[in-house]
Structure 1
Amino acid sequence: MNDAQPLLVMEGITKTFPGVLALQDASLRVGQGEVHALIGQNGAGKSTLIKILTGAYRRDRGTVRLAGQEVDFHSPQAAQRGGISTIYQEVNLVGFRSVAENVFLGREPRRGLFIDWRAMNAEARRLLERFGVRVDVTRPLASYSVAVQQMVAIARAVSFQSRLVIMDEPTSSLDDREVETLFGVIRQLKGDGVGVVFVSHRLDELYAVCDRVTIMRDGRTVDERAMGDISKLELVAKMLGKEIGEVRREGETAFERTGPPGETLLDARHLRTGPALKDASLNVRAGEIVGLAGLLGSGRSETARAIFGADDLTGGELRVNGAPARFRSPAGAIARGIGFCSEDRKTEGIIPHMTVRENLTLALLPALARSGIVDAARQAEIVDRFIAQLGIKTAGPDQKIRELSGGNQQKVLLARWLCLNPELLILDEPTRGIDVGAKAEIQRLLSELAREGLGVLMISSELEELAEGSNRVVVLREGRTVTELSREELTQDRIMAAMAQDPSPLAVTGAPEGGARG
């Protein structure tokens, strides 16, 4: 960074919420044409610092200077007019509006008094093609996947031609090809002199695209370095406030091996749900973690939803504990001992305005109620037990879940299903958008649950997570099961090769009786 001409300088930023000191003398400096990583655990203060910069929160103390001028934005719209664009982890666009409308929301091109639809659609198409996204821009945004929606949000932010672009977990829903495309755009922005603040829990991405890093912990800025001057272990240690040796030991034991699997809990053969899912087969035994891998559009989430009864099966066979099953709704799957944590935590998981207690016991309410009255004492006992067991960091059961960090929200969703004592738990991107500390806690929890006999079907875009944490990995491509890798075969390279190549479809028939598949 050119220290004489920084683009952004935030100094002495302090922010207090009722009973919580969120930021204390935090700082951030970003140079022109610099890609700057901002990292820390969930709850470290990153989002609060960004919201103060962009006018969503008012700071109690401190100064903000942009291009040498002191600024004090009173709203995100004012920050946008001042040259700052923000891309949030959770897509905050309008699902029922078209893709093009979302790209130009609030600044639609006009011809006289009327919107120039032809010009708007053409420009939206051009912007998205820069990101390698070729979709019908006249269709509603909600009709596309979370990944496409994320790319639309990124295209919208870049189209403002801002001096500073803030990217909060922009890659959390993207596959490897889309991530590389995004990195190419970031490098273009850097070449144009635009500053980029890049927030990500994927450390490899930071080293691939960032110039410097600011590390936050407990509301404070604890270090600022050039990326080339700090190792990954030291980075994590500073985030967690631990010694490097301790972090190394914890990393080695995050996923502990499970024992030999038991009886087959789930046997899915040749599942079809339409164009997205054409021929998916897999099985899960008691006490094992089965990974489900594939590129974007491979049918991973569709397979999970079909098993859980969220999408209607148009073909194939499903057996649970050896008995035929055909779930018409998730209620039927829940009754047979299956739980499901969706990929989209915000819209399909948490109920943001409800409390931790209400969110945690949502699926258990029918069992807790008599004549429509909830047994409050039993509910409180269950909630307190799971808060302690999963280490959920909260001010109390009556705190609104939206106020929790992403990792703690994910733990509440896990607890929602665990309090039902399921036999099989389906997890779609369970560690998406959470910090390395919370991720390791969830990985250890899954290993412990598997050792106790729970079957886990885990979808993840992080190949390292699948390779280290699974007993087996089933790979999908274009809606079909193409291969299955045993424990002995599991490496990131082999998973990636299976995802990219197109071998003959494999009908998964299950592990040999009396033996484990890895």
Structure 2
Amino acid sequence: MRQEILRLEKIVTAENGVMLLNHFNLHIFRGEIMGLIAISRHGLESLIELICRNVPLYYGSVYFDEKLVNSYALSPLTRNKVAVIEKQFSLIENLTVADNIYVMRRGFKKYIIHSKTLNSQFKMFAMDAGVDLHGEQQVQGLTYYEKCVVELLKAIIGGVKLVIIRDISNFISTTDLIKFHQLMQTYTGSGVSFLYICNHHQEAYSICDKICLMENGKALKVLGKDEFKEEKILPFTNEFYKNYHERQALPQWMNDFPWVYRGKKGEGFDNEKPQTPLKNGQRVLEFCNVSSGNINKLTFDVKAGECVVLLDKNNTVYIDILALMNFERKPQQGQILLNGEVLAKKAFQTLGFIPEKPIRNLLFKEMSYFDNMCFTADKKLRPFWMRSAIRKSIVKEYEPIIGPDIHARDITKLSIQSLYSLVYYRIHLQNPKVVICVNPFFEGDMAMRLQIRNLIKMLLDKKMAVLILAVNLSDSLLIADRLLVLEKGTLINELYSGEYHKLTENPQ
């Protein structure tokens, strides 16, 4: 009989009178990878907290390692042997790998730390995992992938029985993700279980043994391995994946990374004449033989009204691109042109930036919706804040689109959907020539990703050039006019919408 690691029975949780988990059920067995796809993210934070710590319940029971650890009658607030791996790492940056794993572990009581002993112990685990890491390395110098490996080894060494992997494909490269999946499968053979939280069913299909579909705090359905089919998932995915004609074939080098729909003969663009939109359009942004940091002689352009996705297989060049576009540094070689002229600080008003997690990084809680939306308007119109006639004109133009939210004084009371719209309407009002989006679909559930896609289309309709810096292709192909694939800082392939299948036929 299989050993049960986690069982959630009819769990009900609430906060401030709002129900978060609604009779939620989940079973995870020893050595199993359970996928979790949140169609909406409502209740997800409560679920993760509940698995890690035995917090109070309104109803239901929690069994961990086949023992009752929490119930509506008694919640001891104890911790379970669970680790979470996400982009916000729990590692201490200015300590070594060995110190993070051993010294910072709960229960470590030694007053004298023998670094050589700790390093040698870690070396054995690293060799078993097949990773090139050393205990004396500083965490702050590690890549995202290496930090994920350290977090995983820390969990294994600490005796963790369940590891929660959260949205990992949003911050490590495609190449590294394949390696991490292989590492996960290695440890399932040792009895470690995983809860793999992601946004895409194809991603979950590639690694999981079962998949739980979650929406509004409910577990809608659990799919077994034999049910990993398109027709099984489509009824639960709202409008986002209902149109087959919008899907693309994947390149050969992503055969082991298949969560963007591959397409079939006779379906979608495979059966159509390849389109080459905007080939003769005006070039707005041009990188001409640019080298800087990890960028190596990079040449590409983005045209007005075009969406170009820059996919870096190694996840190394995006910081360099942003530094160049923000005027934090100059190219070591080559030129960056904006409307045919060398990019200079005076052109900053013609650039728009949407960072990862924009509602945390771009919005001001103490300002109203309208003031947040108009925050960058003075880039184009200096006396903007003094001219009430212009402000009234903006309200008249945008109120039919935005609705009553435009009059909101306290944006903290608005929904996440409204706040995301606010970010993009700010850019729409600013009307820059080029918009650079960093991982725009990060952490979005299916409904949110559909909304973001439509907001990006709104910018394109205004003839803005949109450059998406993407770690994976999960949603980007649905909006892209062109895909640029980078490897080791160099452009290795360029394809227009409708030509993605050529990467499968001619792998690079």
* Residues 276 and 497 in structure 2, CA contact (< 8 A), matched pair in contact too: no
Sort the Cα spacing of 1:223 and 1:318 in 2 relative to 1 into closer, same or farther, 3 A.
same
TM-superposed CA distance for 1:254, in Å, is 8.3
Partner of 1:471: 481
Q: Secondary structure at the match of 1:115?
A: coil
Partner of 1:287: 305
Partner of 2:189: 191
Partner of 1:68: 66
Paired AA for residue 267 in structure 1: E
TM-superposed CA distance for 1:10, in Å, is 0.9
Partner of 2:263: none
> Is 2:338 the counterpart of 1:338?
no
TM-superposed CA distance for 1:105, in Å, is 5.7
Paired AA for residue 290 in structure 2: L
Partner of 1:318: 336
Paired AA for residue 296 in structure 1: N
> Is 2:470 the counterpart of 1:456?
no
Q: Which one of the candidate residues 420, 425, 437 is aligned to 2:430?
A: 420
RMSD: 4.3
Sort the Cα spacing of 1:258 and 1:64 in 2 relative to 1 into closer, same or farther, 3 A.
farther
Q: Report percent identity of matched pairs.
A: 18
Partner of 1:349: 361
> Is 2:283 the counterpart of 1:264?
yes
Sort the Cα spacing of 1:24 and 1:347 in 2 relative to 1 into closer, same or farther, 3 A.
closer
Q: Which one of the candidate residues 368, 376, 384 is aligned to 1:364?
A: 376
Partner of 1:504: none
Deviations for 1:218-262, whole angstroms, at most 9, x for unmatched residues?
Answer: 11122223132253343243254xxxxx66544545899896363
What is the rounded CA distance, in whole Å, between the counterparts of 1:495 and 1:355 in structure 2? Answer: 52
Q: TM-score, normalised by structure 2?
A: 0.77
TM-superposed CA distance for 1:198, in Å, is 1.2
Partner of 1:491: 501
TM-superposed CA distance for 1:283, in Å, is 0.9
* Residues 169 and 472 in structure 2, CA contact (< 8 A), matched pair in contact too: no
What is the rounded CA distance, in whole Å, between the counterparts of 2:119 and 2:90 in structure 1? Answer: 20
What is the rounded CA distance, in whole Å, between the counterparts of 2:10 and 2:240 in structure 1? Answer: 30
What is the rounded CA distance, in whole Å, between the counterparts of 1:347 and 1:478 in structure 2? Answer: 31
Paired AA for residue 445 in structure 1: L
Q: Which one of the candidate residues 229, 236, 247 is aligned to 1:238?
A: 236
> Is 2:83 the counterpart of 1:85?
yes
* Residues 36 and 212 in structure 1, CA contact (< 8 A), matched pair in contact too: yes
TM-superposed CA distance for 1:438, in Å, is 2.4
Deviations for 1:412-440, whole angstroms, at most 9, x for unmatched residues?
Answer: 54445334222211122222332333223
Q: Secondary structure at the match of 1:205?
A: helix
* Residues 304 and 465 in structure 2, CA contact (< 8 A), matched pair in contact too: yes
> Is 2:144 the counterpart of 1:134?
no
What is the rounded CA distance, in whole Å, between the counterparts of 1:272 and 1:445 in structure 2? Answer: 32
* Residues 12 and 62 in structure 1, CA contact (< 8 A), matched pair in contact too: yes
Deviations for 1:436-491, whole angstroms, at most 9, x for unmatched residues?
Answer: 33223323332343233111112223346555543233332222234433446433
What is the rounded CA distance, in whole Å, between the counterparts of 2:242 and 2:305 in structure 1? Answer: 24
Paired AA for residue 24 in structure 1: N
Sort the Cα spacing of 1:12 and 1:86 in 2 relative to 1 into closer, same or farther, 3 A.
same
TM-superposed CA distance for 1:210, in Å, is 1.4
* Residues 86 and 166 in structure 1, CA contact (< 8 A), matched pair in contact too: yes
Sort the Cα spacing of 1:307 and 1:369 in 2 relative to 1 into closer, same or farther, 3 A.
closer
* Residues 289 and 456 in structure 1, CA contact (< 8 A), matched pair in contact too: yes
For structure 2, which runs of at least 5 residues remain unmatched after alignment? 249-268, 270-274
Q: TM-score, normalised by structure 1?
A: 0.76
* Residues 293 and 459 in structure 1, CA contact (< 8 A), matched pair in contact too: yes
Q: Which one of the candidate residues 166, 174, 190 is aligned to 1:176?
A: 174
Partner of 2:159: 161
* Residues 300 and 476 in structure 1, CA contact (< 8 A), matched pair in contact too: no
For structure 1, which runs of at least 5 residues remain unmatched after alignment? 241-245, 499-518
TM-superposed CA distance for 1:375, in Å, is 9.7
TM-superposed CA distance for 1:147, in Å, is 3.8
Partner of 1:511: none
What is the rounded CA distance, in whole Å, between the counterparts of 1:495 and 1:120 in structure 2? Answer: 49
Partner of 1:398: 410
Q: Secondary structure at the match of 1:417?
A: helix
TM-superposed CA distance for 1:53, in Å, is 1.9
Q: Secondary structure at the match of 2:42?
A: coil
TM-superposed CA distance for 1:286, in Å, is 0.2
What is the rounded CA distance, in whole Å, between the counterparts of 2:157 and 2:347 in structure 1? Answer: 44
